[in-house]
A and B are shown apart, each in its own frame.
Chain A
Amino acid sequence: MNAPAYNFAYLNEQTKRMIRRAILKAIAVPGYQVPFASREMPMPYGWGTGGVQVTAAVLTPEDTLKVIDQGADDTTNAVSIRKFFVKTAGVATTERTEEASVIQTRHRIPEAPLTEEQILVFQVPIPEPLRFLEPRETETRTMHALEEYGVMHVKLYEDIAQYGEIATTYAYPAKVADRYVFDPSPIPKFDNPKLDNCPALQLFGAGREKRIYAVPPYTKVKSLDFEDHPFEVQSWSEPCALCGSCHSFLDEIVMDDKGTRMFVCSDSDFCARQRGER
Protein backbone atom coordinates (compact mmCIF):
# COMPACT_ATOMS: atom_id res chain seq x y z
CA MET A 1 0.00 0.00 0.00
CA ASN A 2 1.60 3.29 -1.04
CA ALA A 3 -0.69 6.06 0.13
CA PRO A 4 -2.80 5.22 3.16
CA ALA A 5 -6.41 4.73 2.17
CA TYR A 6 -7.69 6.03 5.50
CA ASN A 7 -6.72 8.71 7.95
CA PHE A 8 -4.97 7.14 10.96
CA ALA A 9 -7.57 5.14 12.92
CA TYR A 10 -10.26 5.78 10.29
CA LEU A 11 -11.90 8.91 11.78
CA ASN A 12 -11.08 12.35 10.41
CA GLU A 13 -9.23 14.76 12.68
CA GLN A 14 -12.19 17.03 13.41
CA THR A 15 -14.23 14.05 14.58
CA LYS A 16 -11.36 12.92 16.79
CA ARG A 17 -11.06 16.40 18.33
CA MET A 18 -14.78 16.40 19.11
CA ILE A 19 -14.56 12.93 20.70
CA ARG A 20 -11.37 13.85 22.56
CA ARG A 21 -13.02 16.93 24.08
CA ALA A 22 -15.92 14.73 25.19
CA ILE A 23 -13.52 12.18 26.73
CA LEU A 24 -11.74 14.89 28.75
CA LYS A 25 -15.03 16.23 30.14
CA ALA A 26 -16.13 12.65 30.86
CA ILE A 27 -12.98 12.06 32.91
CA ALA A 28 -13.41 15.42 34.67
CA VAL A 29 -16.97 14.50 35.76
CA PRO A 30 -16.67 10.78 36.57
CA GLY A 31 -19.77 8.77 35.71
CA TYR A 32 -21.58 11.62 33.91
CA GLN A 33 -22.67 10.80 30.36
CA VAL A 34 -21.28 13.38 27.94
CA PRO A 35 -23.31 13.77 24.72
CA PHE A 36 -21.18 13.55 21.59
CA ALA A 37 -21.76 13.70 17.84
CA SER A 38 -21.48 9.97 17.20
CA ARG A 39 -20.61 9.17 13.60
CA GLU A 40 -21.81 6.52 11.22
CA MET A 41 -19.23 3.77 11.30
CA PRO A 42 -18.65 1.03 8.74
CA MET A 43 -20.43 -1.43 11.03
CA PRO A 44 -23.98 -1.48 12.37
CA TYR A 45 -25.10 0.08 15.63
CA GLY A 46 -24.94 -2.58 18.31
CA TRP A 47 -21.62 -3.86 17.03
CA GLY A 48 -19.58 -1.53 19.16
CA THR A 49 -19.59 1.72 17.19
CA GLY A 50 -19.28 3.75 20.42
CA GLY A 51 -16.32 1.74 21.64
CA VAL A 52 -14.72 1.87 18.20
CA GLN A 53 -14.99 5.67 18.08
CA VAL A 54 -13.49 6.04 21.56
CA THR A 55 -10.69 3.61 20.70
CA ALA A 56 -10.00 5.47 17.44
CA ALA A 57 -9.74 8.76 19.34
CA VAL A 58 -7.29 7.47 21.98
CA LEU A 59 -5.16 5.15 19.85
CA THR A 60 -1.53 5.95 19.03
CA PRO A 61 0.60 4.02 16.51
CA GLU A 62 2.67 2.50 19.35
CA ASP A 63 -0.33 0.92 21.06
CA THR A 64 -0.99 -2.79 21.29
CA LEU A 65 -4.69 -3.44 20.97
CA LYS A 66 -6.72 -6.29 22.44
CA VAL A 67 -10.40 -6.69 21.59
CA ILE A 68 -12.69 -9.03 23.49
CA ASP A 69 -16.33 -9.93 23.10
CA GLN A 70 -17.88 -11.64 26.15
CA GLY A 71 -14.32 -12.23 27.31
CA ALA A 72 -13.23 -14.04 24.16
CA ASP A 73 -10.69 -12.82 21.61
CA ASP A 74 -11.91 -15.13 18.86
CA THR A 75 -15.57 -14.19 18.45
CA THR A 76 -16.93 -12.42 15.38
CA ASN A 77 -17.27 -8.96 16.93
CA ALA A 78 -13.81 -9.05 18.48
CA VAL A 79 -12.14 -10.36 15.33
CA SER A 80 -13.78 -7.81 13.05
CA ILE A 81 -12.98 -4.82 15.28
CA ARG A 82 -9.40 -6.00 15.72
CA LYS A 83 -9.03 -6.32 11.93
CA PHE A 84 -10.61 -2.90 11.48
CA PHE A 85 -7.87 -1.24 13.53
CA VAL A 86 -5.10 -3.34 11.99
CA LYS A 87 -6.27 -2.07 8.62
CA THR A 88 -6.97 1.56 9.49
CA ALA A 89 -4.39 2.26 12.21
CA GLY A 90 -1.73 -0.39 11.61
CA VAL A 91 -1.46 -1.06 15.35
CA ALA A 92 -0.07 -4.23 16.86
CA THR A 93 -2.64 -6.57 18.36
CA THR A 94 -2.50 -9.18 21.06
CA GLU A 95 -4.75 -11.65 22.82
CA ARG A 96 -2.76 -11.42 26.03
CA THR A 97 -4.29 -9.07 28.54
CA GLU A 98 -1.01 -7.91 30.11
CA GLU A 99 0.58 -7.13 26.72
CA ALA A 100 -2.22 -4.79 25.65
CA SER A 101 -2.08 -1.03 26.17
CA VAL A 102 -5.64 -0.47 24.92
CA ILE A 103 -8.35 -3.09 25.46
CA GLN A 104 -11.73 -2.68 23.80
CA THR A 105 -14.32 -4.88 25.44
CA ARG A 106 -17.87 -5.97 25.00
CA HIS A 107 -19.55 -7.19 28.18
CA ARG A 108 -16.56 -8.32 30.26
CA ILE A 109 -13.59 -7.04 32.23
CA PRO A 110 -10.56 -9.33 31.81
CA GLU A 111 -9.79 -11.66 34.72
CA ALA A 112 -6.12 -10.58 34.84
CA PRO A 113 -5.64 -7.42 36.91
CA LEU A 114 -5.19 -4.25 34.83
CA THR A 115 -2.36 -1.76 35.26
CA GLU A 116 -1.90 2.00 35.15
CA GLU A 117 -0.46 1.72 31.65
CA GLN A 118 -3.68 0.27 30.24
CA ILE A 119 -6.89 1.83 28.95
CA LEU A 120 -10.10 -0.17 28.96
CA VAL A 121 -12.75 0.88 26.41
CA PHE A 122 -16.27 -0.49 26.92
CA GLN A 123 -18.92 -0.86 24.21
CA VAL A 124 -22.20 0.36 25.65
CA PRO A 125 -25.70 -0.31 24.25
CA ILE A 126 -27.83 1.70 26.74
CA PRO A 127 -25.76 4.18 28.73
CA GLU A 128 -28.61 5.49 30.88
CA PRO A 129 -29.12 3.31 33.99
CA LEU A 130 -32.51 4.92 34.65
CA ARG A 131 -33.83 4.45 31.09
CA PHE A 132 -35.97 1.37 31.78
CA LEU A 133 -37.45 3.08 34.81
CA GLU A 134 -38.00 6.50 33.19
CA PRO A 135 -38.10 6.63 29.39
CA ARG A 136 -37.92 10.45 29.07
CA GLU A 137 -34.42 11.82 28.58
CA THR A 138 -35.48 15.21 30.01
CA GLU A 139 -36.54 13.47 33.22
CA THR A 140 -33.51 11.23 33.64
CA ARG A 141 -31.24 14.22 33.00
CA THR A 142 -33.00 16.14 35.79
CA MET A 143 -32.78 13.10 38.06
CA HIS A 144 -29.00 12.97 37.56
CA ALA A 145 -28.75 16.73 38.12
CA LEU A 146 -30.64 16.43 41.42
CA GLU A 147 -28.88 13.19 42.37
CA GLU A 148 -32.35 11.70 42.65
CA TYR A 149 -31.77 7.96 42.47
CA GLY A 150 -34.58 6.75 44.72
CA VAL A 151 -36.34 5.07 41.83
CA MET A 152 -33.34 2.80 41.28
CA HIS A 153 -33.38 1.70 44.90
CA VAL A 154 -37.12 1.05 44.60
CA LYS A 155 -36.40 -1.20 41.62
CA LEU A 156 -33.78 -3.14 43.56
CA TYR A 157 -36.16 -3.33 46.55
CA GLU A 158 -38.92 -4.72 44.36
CA ASP A 159 -36.49 -7.41 43.20
CA ILE A 160 -35.97 -8.41 46.83
CA ALA A 161 -39.70 -8.31 47.57
CA GLN A 162 -40.46 -10.49 44.56
CA TYR A 163 -37.49 -12.86 44.33
CA GLY A 164 -35.91 -12.61 47.75
CA GLU A 165 -32.72 -11.16 46.28
CA ILE A 166 -31.57 -8.47 43.87
CA ALA A 167 -32.24 -10.17 40.53
CA THR A 168 -30.12 -7.84 38.37
CA THR A 169 -27.18 -9.92 37.20
CA TYR A 170 -25.62 -7.77 34.48
CA ALA A 171 -25.43 -4.02 33.78
CA TYR A 172 -25.65 -3.73 37.56
CA PRO A 173 -25.97 -0.04 38.53
CA ALA A 174 -23.17 1.49 40.56
CA LYS A 175 -22.34 4.93 41.95
CA VAL A 176 -19.15 6.57 40.74
CA ALA A 177 -17.13 8.73 43.15
CA ASP A 178 -20.17 9.12 45.43
CA ARG A 179 -22.06 11.15 42.83
CA TYR A 180 -23.37 9.69 39.56
CA VAL A 181 -25.21 6.39 39.27
CA PHE A 182 -24.00 4.80 36.06
CA ASP A 183 -24.49 1.75 33.89
CA PRO A 184 -21.21 -0.18 33.68
CA SER A 185 -22.43 -1.65 30.33
CA PRO A 186 -23.79 -5.22 30.29
CA ILE A 187 -20.85 -6.73 32.13
CA PRO A 188 -21.89 -9.45 34.61
CA LYS A 189 -22.17 -8.11 38.14
CA PHE A 190 -19.27 -10.51 38.79
CA ASP A 191 -17.08 -7.82 37.17
CA ASN A 192 -18.45 -4.85 39.14
CA PRO A 193 -15.85 -5.14 41.95
CA LYS A 194 -13.11 -4.80 39.29
CA LEU A 195 -14.44 -1.34 38.37
CA ASP A 196 -13.67 -0.07 41.85
CA ASN A 197 -10.29 1.56 42.46
CA CYS A 198 -8.99 0.15 39.15
CA PRO A 199 -5.48 1.37 38.20
CA ALA A 200 -6.49 1.60 34.52
CA LEU A 201 -8.50 4.40 32.94
CA GLN A 202 -11.95 3.10 31.94
CA LEU A 203 -13.79 4.76 29.05
CA PHE A 204 -17.33 3.96 27.90
CA GLY A 205 -18.70 4.67 24.41
CA ALA A 206 -22.32 4.35 23.31
CA GLY A 207 -22.53 4.96 19.55
CA ARG A 208 -26.26 4.77 18.88
CA GLU A 209 -27.13 6.65 22.09
CA LYS A 210 -24.32 9.17 21.47
CA ARG A 211 -22.81 9.21 24.94
CA ILE A 212 -19.29 8.92 26.35
CA TYR A 213 -18.51 8.47 30.02
CA ALA A 214 -15.53 7.51 32.11
CA VAL A 215 -14.25 6.11 35.36
CA PRO A 216 -10.82 7.59 36.08
CA PRO A 217 -8.14 5.36 37.64
CA TYR A 218 -8.40 4.74 41.38
CA THR A 219 -11.99 5.91 41.55
CA LYS A 220 -14.55 4.58 43.98
CA VAL A 221 -17.27 2.60 42.23
CA LYS A 222 -19.92 1.32 44.64
CA SER A 223 -22.50 -1.16 43.40
CA LEU A 224 -25.93 -0.18 44.74
CA ASP A 225 -27.28 -2.38 47.51
CA PHE A 226 -28.94 -2.35 50.93
CA GLU A 227 -27.40 -2.86 54.36
CA ASP A 228 -29.42 -6.03 54.90
CA HIS A 229 -29.02 -7.18 51.29
CA PRO A 230 -25.41 -6.41 50.45
CA PHE A 231 -24.10 -6.62 46.90
CA GLU A 232 -22.98 -10.12 45.97
CA VAL A 233 -21.41 -11.61 42.85
CA GLN A 234 -22.30 -14.84 41.12
CA SER A 235 -20.65 -18.10 42.13
CA TRP A 236 -20.64 -21.51 40.53
CA SER A 237 -20.91 -24.97 42.06
CA GLU A 238 -18.25 -26.39 39.76
CA PRO A 239 -14.92 -25.11 38.42
CA CYS A 240 -14.16 -24.37 34.76
CA ALA A 241 -14.33 -27.66 32.87
CA LEU A 242 -11.27 -26.74 30.81
CA CYS A 243 -8.82 -25.11 33.20
CA GLY A 244 -10.27 -25.92 36.60
CA SER A 245 -10.37 -22.29 37.76
CA CYS A 246 -12.72 -21.69 40.70
CA HIS A 247 -12.57 -17.89 40.66
CA SER A 248 -13.30 -16.83 37.07
CA PHE A 249 -16.58 -15.98 35.36
CA LEU A 250 -18.02 -19.11 33.71
CA ASP A 251 -20.19 -19.41 30.60
CA GLU A 252 -22.71 -22.21 30.39
CA ILE A 253 -22.35 -24.12 27.13
CA VAL A 254 -24.97 -26.57 25.89
CA MET A 255 -23.12 -29.60 24.49
CA ASP A 256 -25.84 -31.65 22.80
CA ASP A 257 -29.61 -32.01 22.48
CA LYS A 258 -29.82 -34.18 25.60
CA GLY A 259 -29.20 -31.39 28.06
CA THR A 260 -25.50 -31.96 28.64
CA ARG A 261 -23.88 -28.75 29.84
CA MET A 262 -20.41 -27.53 30.44
CA PHE A 263 -19.14 -24.49 32.36
CA VAL A 264 -16.04 -22.81 30.95
CA CYS A 265 -14.20 -19.52 31.49
CA SER A 266 -15.60 -16.67 29.40
CA ASP A 267 -12.13 -15.02 29.37
CA SER A 268 -10.41 -17.11 26.68
CA ASP A 269 -6.94 -15.64 27.37
CA PHE A 270 -7.22 -16.36 31.10
CA CYS A 271 -8.41 -19.92 30.46
CA ALA A 272 -5.60 -20.68 27.99
CA ARG A 273 -3.09 -19.28 30.46
CA GLN A 274 -4.46 -21.45 33.26
CA ARG A 275 -4.12 -24.51 31.05
CA GLY A 276 -0.50 -23.60 30.41
CA GLU A 277 -1.04 -23.03 26.71
CA ARG A 278 0.45 -19.55 26.82
Chain B
Amino acid sequence: MTERGFLDVAMQSAHAFRAIMQAVARPGRVLELGSDLEAPDPLLSSAAAVALTLCDFQTPIWLAPELRNENVIHYLRFHAGAPVTDEPGKAQFLFAMAGETWPAPALLMQGTHEYPDRSATLVIQVAGFAPGDVVLSGPGILSSEPFGVAGLNTSFWAAMVENHARFPIGIDVIFAAPGLVAALPRATEIRLLESV
Protein backbone atom coordinates (compact mmCIF):
# COMPACT_ATOMS: atom_id res chain seq x y z
CA MET B 1 0.00 0.00 0.00
CA THR B 2 1.23 3.47 -0.78
CA GLU B 3 1.15 6.06 2.00
CA ARG B 4 -1.11 8.97 1.21
CA GLY B 5 0.30 12.33 0.15
CA PHE B 6 -1.29 15.75 0.67
CA LEU B 7 -5.04 15.52 1.29
CA ASP B 8 -5.59 18.94 -0.23
CA VAL B 9 -2.67 19.52 -2.57
CA ALA B 10 -3.25 23.20 -3.28
CA MET B 11 -3.62 24.28 0.36
CA GLN B 12 -1.00 22.06 1.92
CA SER B 13 1.67 22.66 -0.68
CA ALA B 14 1.02 26.42 -0.35
CA HIS B 15 1.63 26.21 3.40
CA ALA B 16 4.63 23.95 2.99
CA PHE B 17 6.13 26.21 0.35
CA ARG B 18 5.71 29.30 2.54
CA ALA B 19 7.71 27.58 5.29
CA ILE B 20 10.39 26.36 2.85
CA MET B 21 10.65 29.77 1.16
CA GLN B 22 10.98 31.62 4.45
CA ALA B 23 13.62 29.11 5.54
CA VAL B 24 15.65 29.71 2.37
CA ALA B 25 15.15 33.48 2.70
CA ARG B 26 16.33 33.39 6.33
CA PRO B 27 19.22 30.90 6.41
CA GLY B 28 19.72 29.13 9.70
CA ARG B 29 16.31 30.00 11.07
CA VAL B 30 14.33 26.90 12.07
CA LEU B 31 10.68 27.06 10.99
CA GLU B 32 7.71 24.79 11.52
CA LEU B 33 6.77 22.56 8.63
CA GLY B 34 3.69 20.79 9.82
CA SER B 35 2.38 18.55 7.09
CA ASP B 36 -0.63 16.35 7.04
CA LEU B 37 0.75 13.50 5.01
CA GLU B 38 2.12 10.04 5.52
CA ALA B 39 5.59 9.09 4.42
CA PRO B 40 7.11 5.64 3.93
CA ASP B 41 9.97 4.73 6.26
CA PRO B 42 12.58 6.08 6.60
CA LEU B 43 11.43 9.23 4.77
CA LEU B 44 10.41 11.94 7.25
CA SER B 45 7.05 13.54 6.59
CA SER B 46 8.75 16.96 6.47
CA ALA B 47 11.16 15.72 3.79
CA ALA B 48 8.21 14.15 1.97
CA ALA B 49 6.42 17.52 2.13
CA VAL B 50 9.44 19.18 0.51
CA ALA B 51 9.42 16.53 -2.23
CA LEU B 52 5.70 16.79 -2.95
CA THR B 53 5.79 20.60 -2.88
CA LEU B 54 8.75 21.06 -5.22
CA CYS B 55 9.29 17.90 -7.27
CA ASP B 56 7.49 16.63 -10.35
CA PHE B 57 8.20 15.05 -13.74
CA GLN B 58 10.67 17.83 -14.52
CA THR B 59 12.94 17.15 -11.54
CA PRO B 60 14.99 13.95 -11.35
CA ILE B 61 15.43 12.83 -7.74
CA TRP B 62 18.40 10.99 -6.27
CA LEU B 63 17.98 9.02 -3.07
CA ALA B 64 20.77 8.13 -0.67
CA PRO B 65 21.16 4.35 -0.19
CA GLU B 66 19.61 4.61 3.30
CA LEU B 67 16.45 6.15 1.84
CA ARG B 68 16.35 4.14 -1.32
CA ASN B 69 13.78 1.40 -0.96
CA GLU B 70 10.86 0.30 -3.08
CA ASN B 71 8.27 2.06 -0.96
CA VAL B 72 10.02 5.42 -1.08
CA ILE B 73 10.66 5.19 -4.81
CA HIS B 74 7.07 4.18 -5.48
CA TYR B 75 5.79 6.95 -3.20
CA LEU B 76 7.76 9.65 -5.04
CA ARG B 77 6.81 8.29 -8.43
CA PHE B 78 3.14 7.96 -7.52
CA HIS B 79 2.61 11.30 -5.74
CA ALA B 80 5.17 13.54 -7.42
CA GLY B 81 5.56 11.76 -10.74
CA ALA B 82 9.27 12.39 -10.35
CA PRO B 83 11.87 10.18 -12.01
CA VAL B 84 14.34 8.60 -9.59
CA THR B 85 17.89 8.54 -10.90
CA ASP B 86 21.01 6.57 -9.86
CA GLU B 87 23.33 9.37 -10.92
CA PRO B 88 23.66 12.13 -8.32
CA GLY B 89 25.18 14.44 -10.91
CA LYS B 90 21.93 14.40 -12.89
CA ALA B 91 19.53 14.97 -10.03
CA GLN B 92 17.85 18.29 -9.34
CA PHE B 93 16.79 17.19 -5.88
CA LEU B 94 18.78 14.85 -3.67
CA PHE B 95 17.51 13.32 -0.46
CA ALA B 96 19.97 12.10 2.15
CA MET B 97 20.22 11.45 5.87
CA ALA B 98 22.53 13.22 8.29
CA GLY B 99 25.56 11.18 9.22
CA GLU B 100 25.06 8.76 6.38
CA THR B 101 26.50 8.71 2.90
CA TRP B 102 25.97 11.29 0.27
CA PRO B 103 28.04 12.41 -2.68
CA ALA B 104 30.37 15.37 -2.25
CA PRO B 105 28.56 18.64 -3.03
CA ALA B 106 31.16 19.37 -5.70
CA LEU B 107 29.93 16.34 -7.69
CA LEU B 108 26.35 17.58 -7.87
CA MET B 109 24.85 19.93 -10.45
CA GLN B 110 26.43 23.30 -9.72
CA GLY B 111 24.78 25.36 -12.42
CA THR B 112 26.97 27.45 -14.70
CA HIS B 113 28.13 31.02 -14.36
CA GLU B 114 25.61 31.90 -17.08
CA TYR B 115 22.83 29.85 -15.45
CA PRO B 116 23.59 29.43 -11.74
CA ASP B 117 19.96 28.42 -11.17
CA ARG B 118 20.54 25.09 -12.92
CA SER B 119 21.89 23.58 -9.76
CA ALA B 120 20.93 20.84 -7.35
CA THR B 121 19.04 21.16 -4.09
CA LEU B 122 20.18 18.78 -1.37
CA VAL B 123 17.53 17.83 1.19
CA ILE B 124 19.08 16.36 4.33
CA GLN B 125 16.95 14.58 6.91
CA VAL B 126 18.17 15.43 10.39
CA ALA B 127 17.10 14.55 13.93
CA GLY B 128 17.03 18.17 15.05
CA PHE B 129 18.81 21.50 15.32
CA ALA B 130 21.17 22.78 18.00
CA PRO B 131 23.08 26.04 17.53
CA GLY B 132 26.77 25.56 18.17
CA ASP B 133 28.35 24.21 14.99
CA VAL B 134 28.57 27.35 12.89
CA VAL B 135 27.69 31.02 12.73
CA LEU B 136 25.94 32.12 9.55
CA SER B 137 25.87 35.55 7.95
CA GLY B 138 25.06 37.08 4.59
CA PRO B 139 21.83 37.69 2.65
CA GLY B 140 18.73 36.96 4.72
CA ILE B 141 20.51 37.41 8.05
CA LEU B 142 20.42 40.69 10.01
CA SER B 143 23.87 40.33 11.58
CA SER B 144 24.71 36.71 12.33
CA GLU B 145 22.76 33.56 13.09
CA PRO B 146 24.14 30.73 15.26
CA PHE B 147 23.22 27.41 13.69
CA GLY B 148 23.86 23.74 14.16
CA VAL B 149 22.48 20.44 13.00
CA ALA B 150 22.46 17.17 14.90
CA GLY B 151 24.61 14.51 13.30
CA LEU B 152 26.58 16.61 10.82
CA ASN B 153 30.34 16.60 11.15
CA THR B 154 33.16 19.01 10.33
CA SER B 155 33.68 17.56 6.86
CA PHE B 156 30.11 18.52 5.92
CA TRP B 157 30.61 22.09 7.06
CA ALA B 158 33.98 22.27 5.32
CA ALA B 159 32.28 21.14 2.10
CA MET B 160 29.63 23.83 2.57
CA VAL B 161 32.30 26.49 3.10
CA GLU B 162 33.78 25.39 -0.24
CA ASN B 163 30.31 25.45 -1.76
CA HIS B 164 29.88 29.08 -0.70
CA ALA B 165 33.31 29.92 -2.12
CA ARG B 166 32.06 28.83 -5.56
CA PHE B 167 29.19 31.37 -5.44
CA PRO B 168 27.25 32.18 -7.61
CA ILE B 169 27.36 28.54 -8.69
CA GLY B 170 26.87 25.82 -6.11
CA ILE B 171 24.17 23.79 -4.42
CA ASP B 172 21.51 24.80 -1.90
CA VAL B 173 20.69 22.74 1.17
CA ILE B 174 17.35 22.24 2.92
CA PHE B 175 17.37 20.51 6.31
CA ALA B 176 14.23 18.58 7.21
CA ALA B 177 13.72 17.53 10.83
CA PRO B 178 10.51 16.09 12.27
CA GLY B 179 8.02 18.94 11.85
CA LEU B 180 10.78 21.47 11.16
CA VAL B 181 12.67 22.93 8.24
CA ALA B 182 15.78 25.11 7.86
CA ALA B 183 17.97 25.97 4.91
CA LEU B 184 21.48 26.86 3.89
CA PRO B 185 21.51 28.49 0.44
CA ARG B 186 24.85 28.95 -1.31
CA ALA B 187 24.97 32.71 -0.67
CA THR B 188 25.32 32.18 3.08
CA GLU B 189 28.72 32.74 4.66
CA ILE B 190 29.69 30.05 7.14
CA ARG B 191 32.07 30.44 10.08
CA LEU B 192 32.95 27.19 11.81
CA LEU B 193 33.10 27.27 15.59
CA GLU B 194 36.07 25.67 17.30
CA SER B 195 34.07 23.04 19.15
CA VAL B 196 32.95 21.16 16.03
Contact = CB atoms under 8 A, between A and B. Distances in A.
Contact of B25 (A7, A16, A216): A216
Interface in A139-158: 141-142, 144-146
A29 B186 contact: yes
Given A27-B185, A177-B187, A32 B116 contact: yes
Q: A interface, how many residues as a size bin? A: 35 or more
A219 B140 contact: yes
B25 A177 contact: no
Given A13-B10, A58-B18, A29 B117 contact: yes
Contact of B9 (A13, A18, A58, A217): A13
Contact of B119 (A25, A58, A201): A25
A17 B116 CA distance: 19
A47 interface: no
Interface string A152-182: 0000000000000000000000000101100
Contacts, number: 109
Interface string B129-146: 000000000111110000
Given A58-B17, A216-B139, A218-B142, A24 B172 contact: yes
Contact of B139 (A141, A199, A219): A219
Contacts of B18: 58, 60
Contacts of A122: none
Interface residues of B, number: 39
B11 A61 contact: yes
Given A20-B54, A27-B185, A145-B113, A59 B140 contact: no
A256 to B, nearest CB: 48
Nearest to B137: A218
B138 A177 contact: yes
A120 to B, nearest CB: 12
13 contacts: A8-B10, A24-B121, A25-B117, A26-B117, A27-B140, A28-B24, A28-B185, A29-B187, A58-B18, A144-B114, A215-B139, A218-B141, A220-B139
Interface of B: 9-11, 13-15, 17-18, 20-22, 24-26, 53-56, 58-59, 112-117, 119, 121, 138-142, 167-168, 172, 185-187
